């Protein structure tokens, strides 16, 4: 095939700069791996060892593919930054782990906004279960909740595009959008066989992660039936504002003559690990194991409680359901192991893998699964979830009739 001289020169320059960019990312990662002793370069091939198992790859294939696309694609020149993001995204997705994800600059910004409690979307936390995109929890008062989206609902398609094989964070990006615009989800409700299309108008989602309410329950007749004050702490997530707001709530409880606490973690999809540990520390003495982390080569790391346990000895019930995930399960599992709280509700989601967020070049980020969580007694959480001490179901009819048998059971236990 004949090439025009000017096209040939431009193409070579473009390929040169693209290869330099990809090499920068690759060399950075290789340097770390070589330092750890797990990565070796031999005759142009990449060898990564794990114990007695070794895998190798000839990375020149990547350069050949890049050269071929830039030299032959019909609508060239191609956006080299987009190609680079696609290459890194594909590499990360090849781990097969739905929670190990590459974020381009826009996706990284959205992820940060999530944990800060503000974003534009429908207000539903989603995850992966049995290789299917599912709703972990709709946030209170959001368009998703108002549209009837429930924990455990499967999302089969987004605006007509199937979610089969789609990564969780890709699905999140497609569901997001400007305030006032609409998104149509094909939903298969939990434990049902017929899917339906649900169109939802996106809105500004801004939620404080901690809400404190006071309820009253009459004590037993033998005690004269006197009324007791019960504090209800509703945690919607473990975000940036959680620790400060929870400290305020605990201060109110300790000075307010309360008889018991209900920690409502239903539909709480998780958040920051350190916030989960500080939450546990309100009930457990300092320097006790809050959660175990077991990572590469069975390396174990214990995260321990700290500070004064201001709610120690306070009769406590924790409410959980299928939307309680990750950090919620860490807190629930610890309080259950130490027998300082009774878990009431339904089996939790089972998201017990640990992600580490690392900044990369050009305002990009990578979220990597680095370990798995275990309760202080060594119980696994991932894919199994936690069983409540007292199983109480909350049905669709209960919600429709504004009944909450799980909360009723918690009040009954604390009224005894």
Domain boundary among 206, 222, 252: 206
Please give the mean pLDDT across all residues of the chain.
Answer: 84
Does residue 201 sit in the same domain as residue 228? no
Instruction: Assess whether 351 carries a catalytic annotation.
Output: yes
> Is a pLDDT exceeding 80 seen at residue 293?
yes
326 counts as catalytic: yes
Please compute the mean of the pLDDT values over residues 141-159 and round it to a whole number. 93
Q: Is the domain of 288 the same as that of 214?
A: yes
Q: At 324, which CATH number?
A: 3.90.226.10
Same domain, residue pair 357 and 411: yes
Q: Does residue 375 or residue 151 have the better pLDDT? A: 375
The one catalytic residue among 120, 209, 324, 326: 326
User: Per the residue annotation, which of 337, 353, 367, 409 is the catalytic one?
Assistant: 337
Q: What is the CATH number of the domain that holds 141?
A: 2.30.42.10
Same domain, 173 and 216: no
pTM above 0.75, yes or no: no
Contacts 24+ apart (CB under 8 A), 224-228: 228/259, 228/260, 228/414, 228/415
Same domain, 339 and 378: yes
- Regarding whether 39 and 60 lie in a shared domain, the answer is yes
pLDDT band for position 219 (50/70/90)?
low
Task: Indicate whether 39 belongs to any domain.
Answer: yes
Asked if residue 107 is part of any domain, the answer here is no
Q: Is residue 99 part of a domain?
A: no
Q: Residue 107 — pLDDT band, cuts 50, 70, 90? A: confident
Query: How many structural domains does the chain have?
Result: 3
Residues 201 and 216 in one domain: no
Location of structure tokens 């959205």: 110
Tokens encoding 135: 């709703």
- pLDDT number for residue 137: 82
Last residue of a domain, one of 183, 206, 229: 206
| 38, 366, 379 from 323: Cα distances, Å | 38, 25, 19
Task: Say what the pLDDT of residue 39 is.
Answer: 45
pLDDT of 380: 94
Compute the distance between CA of residue 61 and CA of residue 27 in angstroms, rounded to an integer: 16
Judgement on whether residues 254 and 173 belong to the same structural domain of the protein: no
In which domain, by residue range, is 70 found? 5-78
What's the pLDDT score for residue 206?
77
Q: Using pLDDT thresholds of 50, 70 and 90, give the confidence band for residue 416.
A: confident
- Compute how many other C-beta atoms are within 10 angstroms of the C-beta atom of residue 398: 14
First-residue to last-residue Cα distance in the chain: 87
pLDDT band for position 106 (cuts 50, 70, 90): confident
Catalytic residue among 234, 315, 351, 367: 351
Residue 384 lies in a domain: yes
Question: What is the predicted pLDDT for the residue at 27?
Answer: 36
In angstroms, the CA 220 to CA 214 distance is: 19
Tens of pLDDT, residues 57-87: 888 999 999 999 999 999 999 999 999 999 9
**Residue 141: predicted pLDDT:** 84
Angle 212-213-216 (CA atoms, 0-180°, nearest 5)? 145
Pair (67, 146) in one structural domain = no
Q: Quickly state the pLDDT bin for 250 (edges 50, 70, 90).
A: very high
Dihedral over alpha carbons 366, 296, 268, 318 (to 10 degrees): -160
Same structural domain, 241 and 306: yes
**Domain end position, chosen among 165, 187, 206:** 206
**Close Cβ partners of 90 (under 8 Å, ≥ 6 residues apart):** none
**Percent helix / strand / coil, the chain, rounded to 5:** 35, 30, 35
Cis peptide bond upstream of 77, omega within 30: yes
């Amino acid at each position: 095939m004949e090439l025009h001289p000017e096209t040939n020169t431009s193409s070579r320059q473009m390929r040169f700069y693209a290869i330099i960019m990809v090499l920068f990312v690759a060399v950075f990662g290789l340097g770390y791996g070589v330092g750890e002793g797990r990565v070796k370069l031999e005759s142009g091939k990449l060898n990564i060892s794990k114990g007695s198992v070794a895998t190798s790859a000839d990375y020149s294939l990547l350069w050949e593919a890049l050269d071929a696309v830039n030299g032959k694609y019909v609508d060239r020149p191609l956006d080299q930054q987009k190609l680079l993001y696609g290459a890194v995204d594909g590499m990360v997705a090849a781990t097969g782990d739905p929670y190990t994800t590459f974020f381009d600059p826009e996706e990284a910004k959205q992820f940060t906004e999530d944990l800060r409690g503000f974003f534009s979307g429908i207000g539903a936390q989603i995850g992966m279960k049995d290789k299917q995109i599912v709703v972990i929890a709709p946030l209170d008062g959001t368009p998703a909740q108002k549209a009837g989206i429930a924990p455990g609902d499967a999302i089969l398609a987004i605006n007509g595009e199937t979610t089969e094989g789609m990564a969780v964070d890709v699905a999140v990006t497609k569901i997001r959008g400007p305030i006032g615009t609409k998104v149509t989800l094909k939903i298969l409700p939990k434990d049902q066989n017929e899917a339906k299309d649900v169109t939802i108008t996106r809105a500004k989602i801004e939620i404080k992660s901690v809400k404190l309410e006071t309820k009253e329950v009459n004590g037993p007749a033998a005690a004269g039936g006197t009324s007791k004050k019960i504090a209800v702490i509703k945690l919607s997530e473990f975000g940036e504002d959680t620790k400060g707001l929870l400290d305020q709530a605990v201060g109110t409880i300790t000075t307010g003559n309360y008889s018991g606490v209900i920690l409502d973690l239903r539909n709480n999809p998780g958040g920051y690990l350190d916030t989960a540990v500080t939450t546990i520390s309100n009930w457990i003495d300092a320097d006790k194991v809050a959660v175990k982390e077991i990572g590469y080569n069975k390396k174990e790391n214990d995260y321990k409680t700290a500070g004064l346990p201001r709610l120690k000895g306070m009769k406590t019930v924790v409410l959980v359901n299928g939307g309680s995930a990750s950090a919620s399960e860490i807190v629930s599992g610890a309080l259950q192991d130490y027998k300082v709280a009774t878990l009431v509700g339904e089996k939790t989601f089972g998201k017990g893998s640990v992600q580490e967020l690392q900044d990369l070049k050009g305002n990009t980020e990578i979220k990597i699964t680095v370990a798995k969580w275990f309760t202080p007694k060594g119980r696994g959480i991932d894919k199994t979830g936690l069983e409540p001490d007292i199983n109480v179901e909350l049905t669709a009819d209960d919600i429709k009739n504004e009944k909450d048998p799980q909360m009723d059971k918690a009040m009954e236990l604390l009224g005894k």
